[in-house]
Structure 1
Amino acid sequence: MELLKIVKHLEAKLHGPLPGKKGQILMAPQPLDEARFANHDVKNARRGAVMILLYMSKGGCMVPFIKRPEYEGNHSGQVSFPGGKWEEEDIDLKETALRETEEEIGVDKKQITVIGKMSNLYIPPSNFLVTPYIGFSEKTPMFRPDPREVSRIIHSDFSALMDKKNIKETSFELASGFQLRAPYFDIEKEVVWGATAMILGELMAIWQS
């Protein structure tokens, strides 16, 4: 798929009503944690933002994900979009997404044009309310991952993310020992599930609407 055609389509859709929960729930773990969608429970949540970065590569459109290093924490070893928590020096959450993208994968924020944002998603285990932004770069960025925060960068073709054939389902065991079933995206032999998959679920709903 051509980058600018994808950008034009998404930009138009982002200015209309968003699917929100209807899109996110498509990739939500089961049993469903309704706390993700209870707005009254997120007043004291920490704010954060992630970046869905579209970029040109060999005539196609790609999206980078990061795999977190193994550590003692809720998201150890998981695959996510570049992003992180809002800092006081950030003008807004869009700036948070741009700054974190530059810090984590080394892409100059001046190279990224932000076209809009998607619906907020609450992540109960870490008490984060995350805002996903969509941006693009017409040039192939020079990726320089921060080894403290990124064990590897995973590059996926945008068309693969929109292909339902890459959606599978399996069981997951949480650190608490609790087991659940969840759909996931099979991206470059990596399991992408949880909040990142739910964000992709809304992106897919936006794209196909």
Structure 2
Amino acid sequence: MLPDCLSAEGERRCRQLLTRATARLRARPAAAAVLVPLCVVRGVPALLYTLRSSRLSGRHKGDVSFPGGKCDPTDQDVVDTALRETHEELGLAVPEDHVWGILRPLYDQTMSTIVPVLASVGPLDLQSLKPNPEEVEEVFALPLAHLLQEQNQGYTHFCRGGRFGYTMPVFLHGPHRVWGLTAIITEFTLQLLAPGAYQPRLDFPGFQPRD
């Protein structure tokens, strides 16, 4: 059963759990930061995702992701990066006091550190967003209740040299499949918001998130 994670009590609990990590990681150098936008769409708690433009260069074009990008030398910290990139990509201005904290950082296959920043953006009309067509092809939301349903959860086994390497989560049956690092960040978020309601599907030794 989905708890009322958007209540004042739920927010206080999450902020408290993230306090130490946020203080430790906020100013630590990182390659990139993403915002994990917790929103309410038509009265339903959800997470907001983007579909990266197929016109972008690089291996992640056309992927589902959270808004975010590379840290700029002018950014004050990773929170500043996540908020700036979200505004640039979606035209969504998120006040800093809406940030709940920093989730567990990850590193990708190039060993670059990616920092997820959780924030509540409140009630949201997706039609009011103004995505940058150069970066974002589509914006969509997945209700937390959908993400927590077992039939919408899966996993992918990866092999290296013909042997089992690691397992990563995947979330199914939405407008687009959520996989890769975005699925891992989604998993971290569900574990925080709905403790006990989500069973982790993470098992990838050699590709571990950083503390």
CA distance in 2, matches of 1:98, 1:59: 24
Q: CA deviation at 1:204?
A: 2.2
Q: Which residue of structure 2 aligns with residue 15 of structure 1?
A: 16
1:60 partner amino acid: V
Q: Which residue of structure 2 aligns with residue 4 of structure 1?
A: 6
Give the superposed CA RMSD. Answer: 3.0
**Residues 1:66 and 2:68 are matched in the alignment:** no
Q: Which residue of structure 1 aligns with residue 79 of structure 2?
A: 94
RCO higher in structure (CA 8 A, sep ≥6): 1
CA distance in 1, matches of 2:81, 2:140: 21
Name structure 1 gaps, 5 residues minimum.
21-44, 173-179
TM-score, normalising length: structure 1: 0.72
Q: Report 1:148-187 matches (<5 A).
A: 148-169=134-155, 182-186=168-172
Aligned in 2, Cα 1:79/1:8: closer, same or farther, shift over 3 Å? farther
2:68 partner amino acid: G
Q: CA deviation at 1:186?
A: 1.4
Q: CA deviation at 1:111?
A: 8.2
Q: CA deviation at 1:3?
A: 6.4
Structure number with higher helix proportion: 1
Q: Report 1:11-90 matches (<5 A).
A: 11-16=12-17, 47-70=31-54, 71-90=56-75
Aligned in 2, Cα 1:16/1:138: closer, same or farther, shift over 3 Å? closer
1:87 partner amino acid: D
Q: CA deviation at 1:97?
A: 0.6
CA distance in 1, matches of 2:140, 2:100: 22
* Count of residue pairs the alignment pairs up: 177
1:183 partner amino acid: P
**Residues 1:208 and 2:195 are matched in the alignment:** yes
Bigger CA drift: 55-64 or 75-84? 55-64
